[in-house]
């Protein structure tokens, strides 16, 4: 069986022709400004896709759930719909949708081609302007129904917000089961909405902190499988694993460089302190970036690869520092009241997410890359480890609340917190880039 | 219970254990000694055994929050460990460093490593050969106490001296 992560060669997008009689000026079209402080969710009607029996309703449900969880959309209950869509390509009766306050309307159809592929198409309508906003069709393998739905949700999100979507993505994480003092930890991967969980390790060794490669095909993580905790590389498709580097001591806290050519990580020194190294995956050469008698860990590259943000306790307690990718110019940027760790650079480059401990709480927050403009998005008794959605608008982290950790997402307003359903406890999430 | 079964099948060992129970009461005042706990006979440890080390010497020390300094009470324990380890040289030693859950994962891996190294360095300073000593950090992955307050966290901030090799 080919891997589930194999890029979908057969997903092909094609624009559908506009059916509106006359083009309207752009100002008439509904749109969301996600940069405003308080965004009212946009009422949107997502009708069942026509054809394909249960498939049509399934696709519309997945699209609806994606948009709803973003906090930017309020899908309208299907029972309120007045017009029953019979031809998704025909212009709908806009008055029927305006009266239930659906500002946007999605119609679509799904069916099987003679060669067995699924064909899905959607149209997005602005009901108040009385106009089609976008329309596309996709072809995909039978096994990728959910991906088609996520891709459609991304297209709608992008058309209405002007931002890239993040629904056609996956999350690697650690699945946790068993008692707290005897936890079984397994490397796992799933869709961003919690569907399609697959296990990538058997639970015999402790595994921690998985992170996606920018090419989506590899994961770097830490494992105790050899006895000594070490950083590994895993090819998701083949299951092939290899040790990263040949260092004498513990290696931990790995992350890929934005070009995927390097892994940056911490290496334990013999004196008990930890420094940051980068290893080139092709030449196997390593570069030392820090050399302090302190804990230097949790390095994360800026998206252009020119800088690295990391945690260090060189000033007494853990704080956030930024340096050049060659280790130059190490500068502290966090000065708030508390302990800062797990910095992660946003894929947009504008913000750094972190965990802050203060007043007996663990907070998830963001700051600008010079340390200014700190904002706390979520506070709790025990929570940590933010990871960015590829559009830089949503964070996922884990919260230990009822006997074990669970995954939670929060958007940059801090107002839209969502739990990610997992059957077991789950920790250390890392978001993939958009799939392709 | 395999150990007890093995002991009772071995008359020599039984005699030894009985002797230890008597001398233990008379000469040792370690509060955690097997004899004091009423474990006469089967539970009492043979001198020089791993059980002797754990029960009579104490295999672990504790740390303050976010610290790897060896506290005064821990120095006493480690001095006792060093004396024992210098007497029974057949063991290789792995020092496990642990952290409580009130820190983030990667930082705590580093903190556990620093605690293990500080413990190792103290034992080396007390004459234990560095060649016998290895360290490993478990960060916050192996708590022994699992409640959500300080009574548990203080038990989890620890370094545990574990014995391997001949005689363990």
Cβ-based contacts of A313 with chain B (< 8 Å): 107
- DSSP output for A14-78: EEPPP--SS---GGGS----TTSSSPPPEEEEEPPPBSTTHHHHHHHHHHHHHHHHTTSEEEPPG
Q: Could you read off the pLDDT of A51-78 as tens digits, one per residue?
A: 877 889 999 999 999 999 999 999 999 9
Q: Nearest CA of chain B to the CA of A228: how many Å?
A: 7
A2 lies in some domain: no
- Tell me what the mean pLDDT of segment A204-221 comes to: 96
Cβ-based contacts of A338 with chain B (< 8 Å): none
Regarding whether A275 and A396 lie in a shared domain, the answer is yes
Residue with the bigger pLDDT between B18 and A261: it is A261
Regarding whether A50 and A120 lie in a shared domain, the answer is yes
Range of the domain at A97: 12-161
Among partner residues B114, B118, B138, which is closest to A295 by beta-carbon distance?
B114
Mean model confidence pLDDT for chain B: 80
Backbone angles phi, psi at B52, to 5 degrees: -55, -45
Instruction: Report the CATH number at residue A98.
Output: 3.40.50.10070
* pLDDT score recorded for residue A34: 64
* pLDDT score recorded for residue B38: 41
Q: Could you read off the pLDDT of B14-47 as tens digits, one per residue?
A: 333 333 333 333 333 344 444 444 444 445 789 9
* pLDDT score recorded for residue A17: 65
Mean model confidence pLDDT for chain A: 91
Cβ proximity of A311 and A343 under 8 Å: yes
**Among candidates A362, A369, A366, which has minimal Cα distance to A354?**
A366
Of all residues in chain A, what percent carry a pLDDT higher than 90?
82
Q: Could you read off the pLDDT of A71-119 as tens digits, one per residue?
A: 999 999 999 999 999 898 899 999 999 999 999 999 999 998 888 888 9
Instruction: Report the CATH number at residue A230.
Output: 2.120.10.30
Regarding whether A88 and A63 lie in a shared domain, the answer is yes
Instruction: Give the single-character DSSP code of B146.
Output: -
When divided into structural domains, chain A yields a total of: 2
Q: Which of B68, B100, B109 to mutate to test the interface with A (most CBs of A within 10 A)?
A: B109
Regarding whether A375 and A268 lie in a shared domain, the answer is yes
Q: Given pLDDT bands bounded at 50, 70 and 90, which one contains residue A282?
A: very high
* pLDDT score recorded for residue A28: 47
Which of A135, A161, A187 finishes a domain?
A161
Cβ-based contacts of B139 with chain A (< 8 Å): 208
pLDDT at residue A9 greater than cutoff 60: no
- Tell me what the mean pLDDT of segment A297-308 comes to: 98
Q: Given pLDDT bands bounded at 50, 70 and 90, which one contains residue B10?
A: very low
Regarding whether A147 and A176 lie in a shared domain, the answer is no
Cβ-based contacts of A268 with chain B (< 8 Å): 110, 113, 137
Strand, coil or helix: B72: helix
Strand, coil or helix: A127: coil
* pLDDT score recorded for residue B166: 57
* pLDDT score recorded for residue B125: 98
Of all residues in chain A, what percent carry a pLDDT higher than 70?
91
For residue A177, the tally of other CB atoms under 10 A from its CB is 15
A7 lies in some domain: no
* pLDDT score recorded for residue A32: 65
Q: Could you read off the pLDDT of A111-150 as tens digits, one per residue?
A: 988 888 889 999 999 999 999 999 999 988 877 889 999 9
Cβ-Cβ contacts under 8 Å between A and B: the total is 94
Among partner residues B118, B141, B145, which is closest to A206 by beta-carbon distance?
B141
* pLDDT score recorded for residue A23: 43
* pLDDT score recorded for residue A112: 86
A252/B109 CB distance under 8 A: yes
- Tell me what the mean pLDDT of segment A231-253 comes to: 94
* pLDDT score recorded for residue A4: 36
pLDDT at residue A258 greater than cutoff 60: yes
* pLDDT score recorded for residue B150: 86
pLDDT at residue A255 greater than cutoff 60: yes
User: Could you say which of 3.40.50.970, 3.30.1330.60, 3.40.50.2300, 3.30.390.50 is the CATH number of the domain covering B48-165?
Assistant: 3.30.1330.60
* Helices B105-125 and B72-87: angle between axes, nearest 10 degrees: 60
A180/B102 CB distance under 8 A: no
Which of A161, A180, A211 finishes a domain?
A161
Among partner residues A183, A272, A355, which is closest to B117 by beta-carbon distance?
A272
Which range has the worst mean pLDDT, A373-387, A398-412, B21-35? B21-35
Cβ-based contacts of A357 with chain B (< 8 Å): 102-103
* pLDDT score recorded for residue B22: 36
Instruction: Give the single-character DSSP code of A295.
Output: B
Regarding whether A177 and A76 lie in a shared domain, the answer is no
A268/B141 CB distance under 8 A: no
Q: Given pLDDT bands bounded at 50, 70 and 90, which one contains residue A25?
A: very low
Q: Which stretches of B28-132 are assigned E, i.e. beta strand?
A: 60-62, 91-98
pLDDT at residue A408 greater than cutoff 90: yes
Q: Nearest CA of chain A to the CA of B70: how many Å?
A: 14
Q: Which residue of A has its CA nearest to B107?
A: A297
Contacts with B50 (C-beta within 8 Å, 6 or more apart), sequence order: B91, B163, B167, B168
ipTM summary value: 0.92
Indicate the length of chain A as a whole number.
Answer: 436
pLDDT at residue A219 greater than cutoff 90: yes
Which of A144, A161, A178 finishes a domain?
A161
Q: Given pLDDT bands bounded at 50, 70 and 90, which one contains residue B13?
A: very low
Q: Which of B106, B149, B162 to mutate to test the interface with A (most CBs of A within 10 A)?
A: B106
Q: Given pLDDT bands bounded at 50, 70 and 90, which one contains residue A29?
A: low
Cβ-based contacts of B121 with chain A (< 8 Å): 272
Q: Could you read off the pLDDT of A307-362 as tens digits, one per residue?
A: 999 999 999 999 999 999 999 999 999 998 999 999 999 999 999 999 999 999 99
Regarding whether A353 and A290 lie in a shared domain, the answer is yes
Task: Give ranges for CATH 3.30.1330.60 in chain B.
Answer: 48-165
Report residue A165 as tokens: 């979507």
A242 lies in some domain: yes
């Amino acid at each position: 069986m080919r891997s589930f992560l194999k890029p979908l060669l057969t997903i092909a997008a094609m624009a559908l022709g506009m059916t509106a009689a006359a083009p309207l000026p752009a100002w008439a079209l509904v749109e969301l400004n996600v940069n405003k402080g308080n965004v009212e969710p946009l009422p949107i009607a997502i009708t069942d896709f026509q054809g394909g029996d249960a498939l049509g309703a399934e696709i519309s449900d997945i699209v609806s759930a994606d948009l709803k969880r973003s906090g930017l959309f309020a899908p309208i209950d299907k029972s309120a719909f007045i017009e029953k869509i019979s031809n998704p390509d025909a212009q709908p009766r806009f008055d029927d949708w305006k009266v239930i306050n659906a500002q946007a309307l999605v119609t679509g159809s799904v069916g099987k081609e003679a060669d067995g592929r699924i064909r899905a198409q959607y149209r997005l309508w602005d009901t108040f302007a009385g106009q089609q906003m976008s329309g596309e069709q996709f072809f995909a393998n039978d096994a990728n129904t959910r991906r088609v739905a996520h891709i459609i949700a991304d297209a709608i999100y992008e058309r209405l917000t002007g931002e890239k979507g993040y629904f056609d993505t996956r999350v690697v994480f650690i699945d946790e089961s068993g008692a707290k003092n005897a936890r079984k930890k397994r490397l796992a991967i799933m869709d961003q909405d919690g569907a399609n969980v697959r296990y990538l390790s058997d639970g015999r060794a402790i595994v921690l902190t998985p992170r996606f490669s920018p090419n989506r095909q590899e994961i770097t993580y830490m494992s105790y499988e050899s006895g000594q905790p070490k950083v590994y590389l895993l090819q998701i498709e083949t299951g092939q694993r290899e040790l990263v580097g040949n260092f004498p001591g513990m290696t931990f806290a790995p992350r890929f460089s934005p070009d995927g050519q390097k892994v940056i990580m911490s290496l334990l020194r013999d004196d008990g302190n930890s420094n940051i190294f980068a290893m080139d995956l092709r030449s196997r050469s390593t570069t030392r970036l820090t050399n302090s008698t302190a804990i230097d860990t949790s390095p994360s590259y800026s998206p252009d690869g020119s800088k690295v943000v990391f945690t260090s306790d060189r000033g007494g307690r853990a704080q956030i520092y930024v340096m050049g990718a060659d280790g130059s110019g190490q500068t502290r940027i966090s000065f708030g009241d508390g302990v800062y760790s797990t910095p992660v650079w946003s894929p947009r480059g504008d913000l750094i997410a972190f965990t802050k401990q203060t007043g007996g709480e663990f907070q998830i927050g963001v700051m600008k890359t010079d340390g200014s403009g700190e904002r706390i998005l979520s506070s709790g008794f025990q929570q940590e480890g933010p990871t960015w959605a590829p559009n830089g608008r949503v964070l996922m982290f884990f919260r230990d609340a009822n006997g074990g950790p669970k995954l939670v997402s929060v958007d940059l307003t801090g107002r839209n917190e969502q739990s990610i359903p997992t059957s077991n406890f789950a920790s250390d999430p890392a978001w993939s880039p958009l799939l392709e | 219970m395999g150990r007890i079964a093995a002991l009772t099948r071995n008359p020599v060992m039984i005699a030894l254990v009985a002797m230890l129970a008597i001398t233990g009461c008379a000469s040792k005042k370690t509060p955690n000694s097997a004899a004091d706990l009423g474990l006469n006979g089967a539970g009492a440890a043979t001198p020089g055994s791993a059980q002797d080390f754990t029960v009579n010497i104490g295999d672990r020390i504790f740390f303050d929050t976010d610290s790897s300094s060896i506290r005064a009470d821990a120095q006493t324990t480690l001095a006792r460990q060093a004396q024992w380890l210098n007497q029974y040289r057949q063991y290789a030693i792995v020092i496990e460093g642990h952290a409580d859950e009130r820190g983030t994962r990667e930082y705590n891996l580093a903190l556990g490593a620093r605690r293990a190294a500080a413990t190792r360095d103290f034992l080396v300073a007390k004459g234990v050969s560095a060649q016998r000593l290895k360290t490993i950090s478990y960060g916050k992955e192996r708590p022994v106490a699992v409640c959500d307050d300080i009574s548990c966290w203080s038990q989890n901030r620890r370094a545990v001296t574990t014995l391997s090799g001949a005689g363990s």
